[in-house]
Structure 1
């Protein structure tokens, strides 16, 4: 009889624990916490330079584009307000732990965040996208940038983060600023190496930290699809920059690229939609509790 009672008690404990974990996993995303570079910056550098950079106009209110950027469109899809976006991304940031003037690298951004938060919001979605500036600024091996991105994610997880969205890199050798340069071929190879290394490393991290839910935004595939089939995305120009010498083209919504490196807000909106789809697909425990529907 005693064994039966003990068995029942253990079963109840297991059941209640499972219910608690299930309830935690199905809590809706209630905040975006963003780390990265100019692709995700919503005005951090603009405020740090007292509105001097990026210049407005032609850039839009501190964004490196002609309108809002992808994390803002993603927040719309999650029904999150501006106050629910905690953005630490800096234009010009690399993946490193160093600061270049006013600009802290990805690891420094995460370190500053975890040091100032004794506990982090476990129902937030933590966004990590960096690495492009490492290669554009001369890094010629993908090992360290990939390691830095993984270390940033692991640090967030160790601090209590449960949900992470990480993006890979678009083809850095096929940007308007790089396509016809001597570095184009090497940047193509570095992009491929980075994305392959990131994919392998994320798989290992997932095995090491099974409680961490990771969604991947395949920006590389999305850019390539837009370049190959522009009309399907509403674009007529996927090779040139819309803005040149502070003068913008007449129909920026038809351009993939705003300047030599950064996408237009039309492209950012597509990235935001794809990010939302990735969350629904790769964070299945959250798919039923997103604030909006696909």
Structure 2
């Protein structure tokens, strides 16, 4: 807790010097709340709560985050809470996809439309005109690799656009849409036989997302929608690491390897998927029985489906990586200097990168949006 407070205080001090007050030039309708949609890179513990701590296991992951510390969405939320008491709500779930990859029984898998419906039900009587919606999702639709590039990227971007338009039709006026980094440059991507596919799908996704944002901007003149390029930030980290470290006060020097070196490989995932799913099912079933009588979790006991969760994890490289890191935690020691690493595991970034992303996001928000006073 003390280290978290220090990080938040450091973030606030740096942001004050990094973004001079007179340079903040937002536009459009002022926002009074922030709403996040996304996957494991944005999830602040939602999946961890729903699956009773199965994923991501803590330790080695930090209290339900898919990293070794709090994630960027929390840092952004805390910054605006401290600055102007702006509330935020997070609908991101680890492993969440844009498209529904079913059919399955139970309450899994989560997808973007599921999160949208949850949000709309929760805010049925609330004013949505003053919300800033931040949407970062899509990687989990592509990481498995068995896809038709053009069709899937079109469907994913079309769905994201549809969600934005649904929010606009219900009052939404402020949007940040975040693109994808080059998935081929993750440790997972580099070690897999689908690296070329991941590179192409990342590029196609981002190109189509650019067009979708432009179409929304042209069709809804009263809406302030901005494309936030995480791809450009990651490219800068990879190509100009020293300069980026200087700008964001970080110490990253290992941009190729994961801090947590486990036996995970793409081949492992593909070998006998039915056997893997059965292994996961047995693990989750035992975990469920051990926690069934827990009063804190009793409200969701009827929703928990071990078989669905097993299939969900077995078909999601990001969640499977988190599961295997946790399973190997007793036999493998993480690096002693995670603050110098870009990646925490084969897919997810370290808390240092989340801090960097948060600073970049705050700068972007201050330059493009007005906050209600």
Q: Same fold (TM over 0.5)?
A: yes
1:8 alignment partner in structure 2: none
1:64 alignment partner in structure 2: 66
State whether residues 81 and 87 of structure 2, in contact with CA within 8 Å, keep that contact through their aligned partners in structure 1: no
Task: Give me the whole-angstrom Cα distance separating, in 1, the residues matched to 2:121 and 2:186.
Answer: 36
If the length of structure 1 is used for normalisation, what is the TM-score? Answer: 0.83
1:106 alignment partner in structure 2: 112
Task: Give me the whole-angstrom Cα distance separating, in 2, the residues matched to 1:80 and 1:251.
Answer: 30
If the length of structure 2 is used for normalisation, what is the TM-score? Answer: 0.66
1:267 alignment partner in structure 2: 353
Residue 194 (str. 1) matches residue 205 (str. 2): yes
Q: Which moved more, 1:150-159 or 1:98-107?
A: 98-107
Question: Greater relative contact order: 1 or 2 (C-alpha under 8 angstroms, separation 6 or more)?
Answer: 2
Identify if the C-alpha distance between structure 1 residues 79 and 113 changes in structure 2 by more than 3 Å, giving closer, same or farther: closer
Q: Post-superposition shift, 1:244?
A: 2.5
1:164 alignment partner in structure 2: 175
Q: Post-superposition shift, 1:107?
A: 1.7
Identify if the C-alpha distance between structure 1 residues 277 and 139 changes in structure 2 by more than 3 Å, giving closer, same or farther: farther
Alignment map for 1:100-179 (pairs within 5 Å): 101-118=107-124, 119-137=126-144, 138-141=146-149, 142-179=153-190
2:366 alignment partner in structure 1: 280
1:88 alignment partner in structure 2: 91
1:237 alignment partner in structure 2: 254
Q: Post-superposition shift, 1:190?
A: 0.6
Q: Deviations over 1:74-105 (max 9, x none)?
A: 12332359992211111001102467653310
State whether residues 96 and 145 of structure 1, in contact with CA within 8 Å, keep that contact through their aligned partners in structure 2: yes
Q: Paired residues, what number? A: 263
State whether residues 215 and 278 of structure 1, in contact with CA within 8 Å, keep that contact through their aligned partners in structure 2: no
Q: Deviations over 1:203-250 (max 9, x none)?
A: 001111111111222110111110112223221101111113333211
Of the candidates 197, 214, 222, which is equivalent to residue 225 of structure 2?
A: 214
In the alignment, structure 2 segments of 5+ residues that lack a partner are 1-26, 246-250, 263-328
User: Match of 1:79, SS?
Assistant: helix
User: Match of 1:154, SS?
Assistant: helix
User: Match of 2:134, SS?
Assistant: strand
State whether residues 36 and 128 of structure 1, in contact with CA within 8 Å, keep that contact through their aligned partners in structure 2: yes
Give the root-mean-square deviation of aligned CA atoms. Answer: 2.2
State whether residues 35 and 129 of structure 1, in contact with CA within 8 Å, keep that contact through their aligned partners in structure 2: yes
User: Match of 1:243, SS?
Assistant: coil
In the alignment, structure 1 segments of 5+ residues that lack a partner are 1-23
State whether residues 150 and 201 of structure 1, in contact with CA within 8 Å, keep that contact through their aligned partners in structure 2: yes
Identify if the C-alpha distance between structure 1 residues 52 and 83 changes in structure 2 by more than 3 Å, giving closer, same or farther: farther
Structure number with higher helix proportion: 2
Task: Give me the whole-angstrom Cα distance separating, in 2, the residues matched to 1:96 and 1:157.
Answer: 20
Task: Give me the whole-angstrom Cα distance separating, in 2, the residues matched to 1:174 and 1:52.
Answer: 28
Q: Post-superposition shift, 1:38?
A: 0.5
